[in-house]
A and B are shown apart, each in its own frame.
Chain A
Amino acid sequence: MNAPMIVAAVVVVVGLSASFAGVAIRGRLRGLVTMGVGTVVMLGVAGPTRPATLGMTLMAGITLAGMLVFARILARLIDGDEPDRRGIDEARR
C-alpha cells in the first residue's frame, strides 16, 4: 500500500460514510461521488504505471460515471425526499 493509495483509501472511507449518513438523496449522492473518485484514484495509483493500470482505471471510471449519472436521473425523478426506512410501507401508501 503506497502512500497515495492510503490517501485515496481515506477519501473512499469519507465518501462511504457520507453516502450512508447523508440526510437527503442529494447528500447521499454527493457521498457516492466522493467515494467513486476515491476508488478510481486508488486504482490508478495502485499498480506500476503500466498501460494495463491506465486501461483499467479508464474503464472503471467510465462505468462508475455512468452509474452515478443514472443515479442522478433517478434522484431528479423523485420529487421530495426518500424515506429512511425499508422503503415498503410508505411506498405502498
Chain B
Amino acid sequence: MNALAWLAPVALPIAGALLWPVVGPARRWLLVLAPLPALLLGVFGAPGPPPQLNWLLLEAIADLDIGSRPLLVMTAFVWMVAGASARRIGDDRPAFASLMLLTCAGNVGVLLAADVVTFYVMFAWMTFAAYGLVVHHRTESARRAGRVYVVLAVLGEVALLAGLLLAATHAGTTAMPEVAGSLATAPGRSMIIGLLIGGFGVKVGLVPLHVWLPLAHPAAPVAASAVLSGTMIKAGLVGWLRILPLGEVALPGFGATLIGLGLVGAVLGVVAGTLQSDPKVLLAYSSVSQMGLITTAVGLGLVLPDDATAAVFAAVAYAVHHGIAKASLFLGVGVHKAGTRGWSHRTLLAGMGLAALALAGAPLTTGWIAKQTLKSVADALPEGGGQPLTLALSLAAAGTTVLMVRLLWLVREPSGPRSSPRSDAPADARGVIAPWASIVVAVAVGGWLLPLAVPDAPSLLPLTTSGLWDGLWPVLLGLVPCAGWLRYRPDRRLARASPRPAIPAGDLLLLIERLAPAVSIPAWWLLHRFDAMERRARTFQDVGRVTVRPGALIDHLEDRLTGWRTAGALYVLIGIAVTVALALGTA
C-alpha cells in the first residue's frame, strides 16, 4: 500500500499516456484524475517511509521533504485544473493528451525524486515531453519557439548533467541531501555550482537564459501555458533548493549574482511585459519577473546560511502563490479567448482582477503574504544591506501592478463567440469556465491555507498594520501611472495600428539570431568543404583506376623485362651475383 502511495503519482499519468489511444471515452476524465494521487500524497503524506526501488533506474530513492510538499500540492492542483480545461483539446489530438500526461508525470516525479539520477531523469523527461506541448499548434511561430526551447533545454540538460556528475562523484553517493552537503567542500566547487545554477536557470528563466520563455509559453495552448508557467518553471527552483548547499556554507559571490540577476529579471519582465499586445506573452514576461523575485530569495539563502530555512520557505511560499495566480490568469485568458458575453465577461474580469491583485501583492492576498515573508528575510541582511533590497521588492510590486492593469486593459472587451478555426478553445466556453472558477477560489483562499499545509512554518505572518500598509502603497504607486495613461492615452487607432510591440517577444534572442549566422554559415561551409575533400580523396583509393600513366609505365617495363635480350643480360648478371655472394660471404 505504502509503495503504491509513493509510485502512483508518477505511474498513473504514464499509464494514462500509454493507454490513451486504447481507453474509451472515459479517457477525458483521465486528464483530470491523473494528478489526484499526487495531490493526496501531498496533502495527507504517505503511510510509511519511501520504498527501496533499486531495480528502478540506478537505485532510485523517493522522498518528500518539507520544502517540496506544498509545491507538490500546488503542482497537482494546477495540473488537475489544466487537465480539466484541456479535455476538449485532448479529444481531437490524442498526441497532445498523452504528452500532457507524460509531462505531468515528469513534473510530479521531479518533486518526489530524492536521488540525483532519478531527479535528472524526471527533469529531462518533463522538459522533452513539454516540447510536444509547445509545438502543438504546428504554426511557424510555434516551431520557432520549439526550436529555441529545445536548443536551450539541451544546453541546460548538458550543463546539469556535468554538474550533477561532478557533484555526485565528490559525494560518493547519488542521494541528494548528501550530495548537497558534500558540495560545500568539493574541489572546483564554483564550477559545479555555476553549472547547476546555469542548468536549472534555463528552466527558471534566469535573465540571460530566459529568452525561450516569452516565446514558448504563449505558443502552447492555454492549458499547457498554465502548467508551463505555473508548475514546470518551479521544477528549476526545486532543483536549486535541493542541490545548492543552502545553509551549509556562505557563498556571497553566487548569492549576490543570483540576487542581482533576479532583480534585473523582475525589472526586465515588467518593462518588456507592459509593451506587449498579446496577453499570453505579457503573462510570460510576468512569470520572468516573478521568478526573478524568487531567485533573489534563493540568492538570500546563499548569502545568509543561518537564515537559509527562512529563505527557502519564502521562496516556496512565493512559488506556490505565483503558481496558482499565474495559472488562473492564463486560464482566464483562455476563457476570454473562448468567447464570453455579458455577465460571464464581467465575472471573468472580476476573477482576473482578484488574481491580478494577488500577483501584485495587495494586502490580505496570497501575494502579500509571500512578499512579506520575502521582505522579512531581506531585512535580516547584515550591515543594512536589507533596506535597498526591500525597496526594490516594493518597486517590483508596483511594476507588477502596472503590468496587471495592462493585462486587464487588453482583456477589457468581451470577445464574442468568434468561430475562428484557429482558436485553441472550443466556441462555447462552458467546458473552460468551471475549472477557471475553481482556481480563482484557490487564489483567494490559498494564501491562508499555506501555514496549515506546513505546520512548523515560522510565524512570519505579518498581520501587523505596518505590514498592511507595506503591502498597499506599492499597489497605489503602480495605479498612478496607469491612471495618467488612461487619461491622456494617444489616439485609439494609433494604439491598434502598430500591433508589433516595441520589444518583440524573446528580446535578447533577436540579438543572438542576428549574430548567429556570422558564426554558423562559415562553420557549415567548412564542414561541407571537408566532406567534399574526403570524397575526392577517395578516388585515390581506387588504386587500379587512378591515372593511366603509371599503368602504362609498368606495362612498358614488363615488356622490356621479358624481352630476350634484357632477360639474357639479367640472367647472366644474377648468375654472377649469386656465385660471388656464395664465394665471399662468411660461411
Contacts and interface: CB of A to CB of B under 8 A. Distances in A.
Q: Do chains A and B touch in the complex (CB under 8 A)?
A: yes
A28 B568 CA distance: 12
A85 B568 contact: no
B430 to A, nearest CB: 94
A17 B569 CA distance: 8
A28 B567 CA distance: 14
Interface in B523-578: 558-560, 562-565, 567-569, 571-572
Chain A CB within 10 Å — which of B562, B568, B572 has the most? B568
Contacts of A87: 562
A62 to B, nearest CB: 26
A21 interface: yes
A86 B558 contact: yes
A86 B560 CA distance: 8
Contacts of B562: 85-87
A53 to B, nearest CB: 24
A79 interface: no
Interface string A40-80: 00000000000000000000000000000000000000000
A20 B558 contact: no
Contacts of B558: 86
B559 to A, nearest CB: 4
Nearest to A88: B562
Secondary structure of the A side of the interface?
A: helix
Contacts of A21: 564-565, 568
Given A85-B559, A86-B558, A86-B559, A17 B565 contact: no
Contacts of A17: 568, 572
Contacts, number: 29
B565 A85 contact: no
Nearest to B563: A84
A20 B568 contact: yes
Contacts of A89: 559
Contacts of B568: 16-17, 19-21
A86 B567 CA distance: 10
Interface residues of B, number: 12
Nearest to A28: B564
A28 B564 CA distance: 10
Contacts of B559: 85-86, 89
A89 B559 CA distance: 10
A33 B371 CA distance: 123
A16 B574 CA distance: 14
Interface in B268-318: none
A28 B569 CA distance: 15
Contacts of A86: 558-559, 562-563
Contacts of A20: 564-565, 567-569, 571
A70 B521 CA distance: 80
Contacts of B564: 20-22, 28, 84
B572 A85 contact: no
Nearest to B569: A20
A21 B564 CA distance: 7
A71 B543 CA distance: 42
Interface string A1-28: 0000000000000001101111000001
A16 B558 CA distance: 22
Contacts of B572: 16-17
A84 B565 CA distance: 8
B560 to A, nearest CB: 8
A84 B562 CA distance: 8
B70 to A, nearest CB: 94
Given A17-B568, A84-B564, 15 more contacts: A16-B568, A19-B568, A20-B564, A20-B567, A20-B571, A21-B565, A21-B568, A84-B563, A85-B560, A85-B562, A86-B558, A86-B559, A86-B563, A87-B562, A89-B559
Interface of B: 558-560, 562-565, 567-569, 571-572
Interface of A: 16-17, 19-22, 28, 84-87, 89
21 contacts: A16-B568, A16-B572, A17-B568, A17-B572, A19-B568, A20-B564, A20-B565, A20-B567, A21-B565, A21-B568, A22-B564, A84-B563, A84-B564, A85-B560, A85-B562, A85-B563, A86-B558, A86-B559, A86-B563, A87-B562, A89-B559
Q: Which 5 residue pairs spanning A and B have beta carbons closest together?
A: A20-B568, A86-B562, A85-B559, A84-B563, A85-B563
